[in-house]
Amino acid sequence: MNMHPEAAYARLTARVTRIATINEAAGMLGRDAAAMMPNGGGAARGDQMAVLAGLAHGLATEPQVTDDLAEAETVPPADQWHAANLRLMRHAHTRATAIPADLVEAQVRANSACELIWREARRTADFAMVRPALQEVFSLVRQRAAALAPALGLSPWDALADGSQRGTLAADVEPVFDRYEEFLRDALPRAEALQASRTPPLRPDGPFPLDRQEALSRRLSARLGLEPEHSRLDRSAHPFCGGTPTDVRITTRYNEADFSSSLLSTLHETGHALYERGLPTAFARQPVGEAAGMAVHESQSLIVEMQACRSDAFLGWLGAELQLVFGGVAAPYAPSNLVRLWRRVVRGFIRVDADEMTYPAHVILRFRLERALLAGDLVVADLPGAWNDHMQGLLGVSPPNDALGVLQDIHWYDGLVGYFPNYTLGAMAAAQLMAAVRRAVPGLDAALAQGDLSPLIAWLRTNVHARGSLLGFNDLLREATGKPLDPADFQAHLTARYLS
């Protein structure tokens, strides 16, 4: 038989473009469900998304794909980008063919149904309401993990984690988290003592009209470099970034008594959006042109929100802007007060509101619990109690109700397992990347003091965004910073910011 590897590769690229387009449509439906859809539309939306998932899965697993991959691999492309693209296609095919088609659609329907019940359960702090649906979700998650694990040669949890960040293994994550827990045990009380010895922050007097908050969020997002013609900002119960690189959708949530939540989440989601906007257009809708994984994605949101926009330099500029928007006395908007207000350690219940130092404890809790759930060492019915026990052990606090505990996050109720470590791995990577930026861009703080993130974004465009998925997590960090992930940079950042 005559082999035509170039033609086979061309057929594969056309196919994955079609699959990516279907997934984009599903993503937009998911974004609408979170931001705009009435609850009564949930069942129909679950069917719509299940059908699209089934179509994408069917295209990915047709026999022709097996033949084309084998043919293309006889003479892999010489160009590193196309060679990496082919390897990623093979990896995606291995994952897709391991999962039965009926399981793909069943998971989408179960996740959609559970997520809708979760909304009401969280509002009423009633875990029992969502428990049966969550049991079904985890039953299907375990089936997925059992199918993926042998195909990938990984443990069940690792096989799930591979879907959000290739190369994330529990054996690597666990010692990183154990060492961080040791660091936190010493650093947190020291930071609290130092904080208590200083003047407490002043809180700006509200109310803060929602229309002003929204206008400010839009203006800051545009100032950071997110073009309005390629993006949209809406409201949702849980802030997120979705859409496509040319049509990025971010959301935030507003509180008339406190503008901090909307402001900081907008900066965070804008970091995600800027990454999407910077991905290589030459490989749009190809695996190698996608983001390098969710830990990398989280590093891009956190380098904007935490590293840059909560820096002394940027807060000096932002304080004046806030007073112009909201009025009132100047003192609460002074940079020194914003530092005390937004860089304050608190042993709180809510992950998304946590400070940099305690945030990883929230992730460690979820990492340990979901592994126990997946292994069958913990049953869903016992999850609230286990949650509270772990929270007490890690941070010395116990939620008074499940809305502040096990019901606070959407992820498990939407079938996302193996995902949470990316938040802390991303925070550690953000600190490492920021140290590299500071070495490469001596005038960075001067620009931040003018509210200008363009030098930072330009460096990220070259060293992270434009690289797409050409490199894995650690190889990307190695090229950008000279070393793979080094949690010491994150601890050094926290020590400088909270212990000095």
Q: What are the tokens at 347? A: 């042993």
| Residues taking part in catalysis | 269
